[in-house]
Structure 1
Amino acid sequence: MYLPTAFHDTDIERLQQQMAATRLAIIVTHGDQGLLASHVPLLLDREGEFGTLRGHLARANPQWRDLANGSQAMVIFAGADAYVSPGFYPSKAEHGKAVPTWNFLAVHAYGHADVFSDPERLHALVSSLTDHHEARQAQPWTVEDAPADYLESMLKAIVGFALPIQRLEGKRKLSQNRSAEDIAGVQRGLASSSDPLDNAVAQLMTQ
């Protein structure tokens, strides 16, 4: 990831918070079939320097073979983003030297995964993923709610993986390269938008 100094985020705790808050990550690999990408929910275990990502892929998805063959994976966690209009900058009225840009958060995690098909380990993984996301429901569903034979067939259809993060990159592009007046102008412009993502970026700019 291109990381200009002004936007390079090295706060591991903050990066992990964004990773944990991302509901659907993108895992990218390169193998015999070229570049492959899958959109997957992941769990983050924070032990170790950067943590470990846990998830699963469909057995019919050829990407798991890249992981099993030792291909390095890049996992992308996209945060809030917002279009920044030159009209937000007070300096535009002074000299006109302004162009559109984009403010956003992004985290990239890299590592090599351990792939597994053990039923007990898969059961524990899908139970953890389910409990994590069902916690928001009024009547949470659990893996045990499914018939045992059905669950067994479903587990046979997936491949699990654990990916210890070996390298972690974060980008926090929130107009830090602009003057204080222009930053305030961007924040005001995004805060007045009717788009919730614009509002989220505006809030981030105040932190």
Structure 2
Amino acid sequence: MYVPRAFAENDTAALHLQMQASPLPVLITQGSQGLIASHVPLLLAPDEGPYGTLYGHLARANPHWQALAEGGEALVIFAGEQAYISPSFYPSKAEHGKAVPTWNYLAVHAYGQPDVFDDHDRLLALVSRLSSKHEANRPEPWAVSDAPSEYIDSMLKAIVGFSVPISRLIGKRKLSQNRSTADQLGVRDGLLANPNSHDHALAHLMAKE
């Protein structure tokens, strides 16, 4: 990912927060089967390794786990808030007309060598943690233990777990930092004037900067 200095996010804790706020990242590998991508929920263990370790699972019928087992480097993309930026948002456009469209967005790219596992107890612990994470805000959270144990055992046989110890972590926060204060305020106001909720979310992020 190309990251100009003005848009670089190098704080690991901030990157971890962005990753945890992106519930369905994209896992990408290049192996003997070619380029493969899967959209998969992941758990982040922030204290395992210099940049943390990611955990997830794939259907055993999904050939992507075989690509992971080959040992090539994996890339996981966590996409954050994003919005189109019109040149009309910039007050400076009225002065000299030198403005073109762009896109503001947040993104984190995590790289690492994946490890595949299918141990029953390890898989059970993984899916239990994933369920607990995504059920946490429900009034009556569902738990893996709510289902019959023989049913869960059969489901575990149909998946393969993996971990990705992160060896490289690259973050980008493109929020018009390269523009003047007046133009940044113009972008924020322009986004707030749009009905799109994504535009509003990005505008609120800009206000916090």
Report the TM range for the smaller structure's normalisation: over 0.9
The alpha carbon displacement at 1:93 in A equals: 0.6
Percent identity, aligned pairs only, is 61
1:53 corresponding residue in structure 2: 54
In the alignment, what sits opposite 1:5?
5
SS in 2 for 1:161: strand
- Corresponding residue number in structure 1 for 2:25: 25
| CA–CA distance in structure 2, aligned partners of residues 144 and 125 of structure 1 | 13
Distance 2:38 2:136 in 1: 24
Output the amino acid matched with 2:32: D
Give deviations 1:54-98, integer Å, cap 9, x for gaps.
Answer: 100111111111111101100000000011011100011111111
Say which SS state the counterpart of residue 166 (structure 1) adopts: strand
3-state DSSP of counterpart to 1:98: coil
Q: Does 1:83 align with 2:84?
A: yes
Residue 148 of structure 1: how far off its partner (Å): 1.4
- Mapping of 1:30-109 within 5 angstroms? 30-47=30-47, 48-109=49-110
For 1:9 and 1:20, the matched residues in 2 are separated by 16
Name the CA distance, whole Å, in 2 between partners of 1:128 and 1:105.
Answer: 26
Give 2:115's aligned residue.
Answer: 114
Structure 1 runs of 4+ with >6 Å offset: none
Give the match's secondary structure for 2:186: helix
Kindly indicate whether residue 198 of structure 2 is the aligned counterpart of residue 202 of structure 1: no
Distance in 2 (alpha carbons) for counterparts of 1:109 and 1:155: 27
Q: Which amino acid aligns with 1:19?
A: M
Shift of 1:113: 1.2
Measured in 2, the distance between the counterparts of 1:21 and 1:104 equals 14
What root-mean-square deviation, in Å, do the aligned CA atoms of Structure 1 and Structure 2 show? Answer: 0.8
**Residue 129 of structure 2 aligns with which residue?**
128
> What secondary structure, in the 3-state scheme, does the structure 2 residue paired with 1:159 have?
strand
Q: TM-score, normalised by structure 2?
A: 0.97
Q: Which residue of 2 aligns with 1:167?
A: 168
Partner-residue secondary structure (3-state), 2:195? coil
The alpha-carbon deviation at position 192 of structure 1 amounts to 2.2
**1:179, CA displacement in angstroms?**
1.1
CA deviation digits over 1:123-177, x for unaligned, max 9? 0000000011011111111101111111111000100011110000001000111
Q: Alpha-carbon deviations, 1:165-201, whole Å to 9, x = none?
A: 0000001000111111111100111122221111111
Name structure 1 gaps, 5 residues minimum. none
Query: Which region of structure 1 is more displaced relative to structure 2, 186-195 or 15-24?
Result: 186-195
Match runs of 1:147-166 below 5 Å: 147-166=148-167
* Separation (CA, whole Å) in 2 of partners of 1:5 and 1:171: 9
Cα deviation, residue 8, structure 1? 1.1
The size of the alignment, in residue pairs, is: 207
Structure 2 gap ranges (5+): none
SS at match of 1:175: coil
TM-score of the superposition, structure 1-length normalised? 0.98
Code of the residue aligned with 2:35 in structure 1: it is L
